[in-house]
């Protein structure tokens, strides 16, 4: 949004272009309502429009969310281009800190903890965190958290039949009275008003069904194919009718989720169905789903850059909506990466299934094919390497897995816990490769998927080298330089070409 003036933003608003969804919000002074760029309400006059980079900034100025376009459903602002720290075009540190804080706040970081705890997690002082967020987003961290809670409540009121008290607690409010008061003061509506004005009928079944928006295009078929090939047996699966299912354990709660593309042609969103047992951890769960499916990417920015390279131009044109699959849990992804060292994708999947049967907690009541929760670091930290060799792991690989589990369980690799926030990937890589059996390929792959770093690039990957005509690792790294800062997406295109 920094590169666009008000006239350009107004043209984007008039065009209803979904690629700008979540990039900015428009407040209409005549109605005191703010909308997404995709809103189909009659366009206001330019002089009546005020533009904001966040919903919180619009609400700070006295605007309330539109009941038609529903700002709470907008995708998060796209990740800005960022080079690895130390490069000439290194991302601004304050901006990176503000984005990391916003990501954690969106996942509910301030619902159970305070600013001091979040600042410590991000490695800065609380004062510096407040200053960074205010400078970049125009609101304080507390205002950002308050808007998140209100919009989550508005979403649940419109899309579920949950009782009001359950809506308040699930959204992060500590009291129903505070929820009712703040809702009326901020939105000039009662929670009951929002529920009665919901534009779509609500399914009264026990399942909770929500939507997660993205900026088009989105290659859902490619995402499913990528996840299907790497699905851990018993923990996750891709069904024949185009859905992704998995078990989830988060914050002491366990359950299962099903994700599929929206059935509405013009709706750019995924449909998420989750078991009611996961409601207490709804905010972090939805944040992890967004990371897994790379829903906050800006495909237009990525494609326009990669198409400039002759090697990638045809590949990008063939799959303009290709995304980089993330992870629901950093340790789970890192464990899978270790199992995939020097073996095929199918071989790694077989080992993952055996390890799940050996060490994971079983579940009941999940859809067919889901039998276990993902293995946690705590469950493997006390394991003996010799015991893990009985499922077909080499002694060295088993020792690597135990060392990884102990490092994560002890807090030595906080990036692989919580919400995967990472301000400095190079620091993580240094600590990660210090573990026995962790090489550069594993570190780059984990940084790419678990930490969601858009410029991560596992140059040692045999598939990438094959796609590039058998280049050496050194020559592939050199060839990848023009692809910065989107090398992770370049890697995904090269893998897809195979």
Q: Which residues are catalytic?
A: 35, 461
Please, which residues have CB within 8 angstroms of residue 496's CB and are 6 or more apart in sequence? 222, 315, 319, 322
| Sign, Cα dihedral of 182, 186, 188, 189 | negative
For residue 421, give both structure tokens: 């926030």
Half-sphere exposure of 271 (CA within 13 A, CB side): 12
Cβ atoms of 259 and 270 closer than 8 Å: yes
Number of neighbours of residue 185 by Cβ within 10 angstroms: 8
Please, which residues have CB within 8 angstroms of residue 43's CB and are 6 or more apart in sequence? 13, 14
SS (H, E, C) the chain: CCCCCHHHHHHHHHHCCHHHECCEEEEECCCCEEECCCCCCCCCCHHHEEEECCHHHHHHCCCEECCCCCHHHCCCCCCCCCECCCCCCECCHHHHHHHHHHHHHHCCHHHHCCHHHHHHHHCCCHHHHHHHHHHHHCCCHHHHHHHHHHHHHHHHHHHCCCCHHHHHHHHCCCCHHHHHHHHHHHHCCCHHHHHHCCCCCCCCCCCEEEEEECCCCCCHHHHHHHHHHHCCCECEEECCCCEEEEEEEECCEEEEEEEEECCCCCCCEEEEEECHHHHHHHHHHHHHHHHHCCCCCCHHHHHHHHCCCHHHHHHHHHCCCCCCCCCCCHHHHHHHHHHCCCCCHHHHHHHHHHHHHHHCCECCCCCCCECECCCCHHHHHCCCHHHHHHHCCCHHHHHHHHHHHHHHHHCCCHHHCCCCCCCCHHHHHHHHHCCCCCCHHHHHHHHHHCCCCCCCCCCCCHHHHHHCCCCCHHHHHHHHHHHCCCHHHHHHHHHHHC
């Amino acid at each position: 949004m920094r590169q666009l003036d008000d006239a350009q933003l107004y043209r984007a608003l008039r065009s209803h272009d979904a690629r700008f969804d979540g990039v900015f919000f428009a407040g209409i002074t005549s109605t005191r309502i703010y909308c997404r760029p995709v809103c189909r309400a009659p366009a206001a006059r330019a002089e009546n429009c005020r533009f904001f980079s966040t919903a919180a900034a619009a609400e700070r100025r006295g605007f309330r969310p539109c009941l038609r376009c529903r700002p709470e459903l907008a995708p998060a602002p796209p990740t800005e281009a960022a080079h690895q720290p130390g490069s000439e075009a290194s991302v601004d540190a304050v901006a990176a800190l503000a984005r990391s804080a916003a990501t954690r706040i969106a996942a509910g970081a301030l619902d159970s903890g305070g600013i001091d705890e979040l600042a410590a997690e991000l490695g800065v002082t609380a004062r510096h965190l407040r200053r960074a967020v205010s400078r970049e987003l125009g609101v304080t961290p507390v205002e950002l958290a308050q808007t998140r809670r209100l919009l989550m409540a508005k979403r649940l009121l419109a899309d579920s039949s949950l009782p009001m008290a359950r809506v308040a607690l699930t959204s992060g409010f500590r009291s129903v009275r505070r929820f009712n008061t703040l809702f009326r003061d901020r939105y000039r509506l009662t929670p009951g008003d929002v529920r009665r004005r919901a534009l779509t009928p609500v399914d009264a079944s026990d399942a909770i069904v929500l939507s997660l928006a993205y900026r088009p295009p989105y290659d859902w078929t490619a995402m499913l194919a990528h996840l299907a090939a790497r699905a851990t047996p018993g923990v996750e699966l891709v069904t024949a009718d185009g859905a992704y299912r998995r078990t989830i354990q988060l914050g002491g709660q366990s359950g299962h989720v099903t994700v599929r593309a929206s059935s509405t042609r013009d709706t750019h969103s995924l449909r998420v169905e989750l078991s009611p047992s996961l409601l207490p951890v709804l905010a972090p769960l939805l944040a992890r789903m967004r990371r897994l499916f790379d829903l906050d990417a800006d495909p237009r920015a990525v494609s326009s850059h990669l198409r400039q390279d002759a090697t990638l131009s045809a590949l990008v044109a063939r799959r303009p909506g290709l995304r980089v699959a993330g992870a629901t849990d950093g340790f789970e992804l890192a464990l899978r990466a270790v199992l995939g060292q020097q073996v095929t994708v199918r071989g790694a999947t077989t080992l993952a299934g055996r390890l799940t049967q050996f060490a994971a907690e079983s579940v009941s009541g999940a859809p067919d094919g889901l039998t276990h929760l993902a293995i946690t670091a705590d469950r493997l930290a006390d394991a003996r390497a010799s015991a893990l060799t009985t499922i077909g792991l080499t002694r060295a690989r088993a020792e690597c897995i135990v060392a990884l589990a102990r490092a994560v369980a002890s807090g030595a690799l906080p990036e692989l816990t919580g919400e995967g926030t990472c301000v400095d990937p190079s620091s993580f890589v240094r600590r990660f490769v210090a573990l026995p059996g962790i090489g550069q390929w594993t570190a780059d792959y984990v940084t790419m998927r678990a930490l969601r770093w858009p410029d991560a690039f596992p140059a040692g990957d045999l598939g990438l080298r094959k796609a590039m005509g058998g280049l050496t690792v050194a020559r592939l790294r050199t060839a990848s330089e023009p692809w910065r800062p989107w090398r992770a997406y370049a890697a995904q295109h090269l893998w897809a070409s195979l």
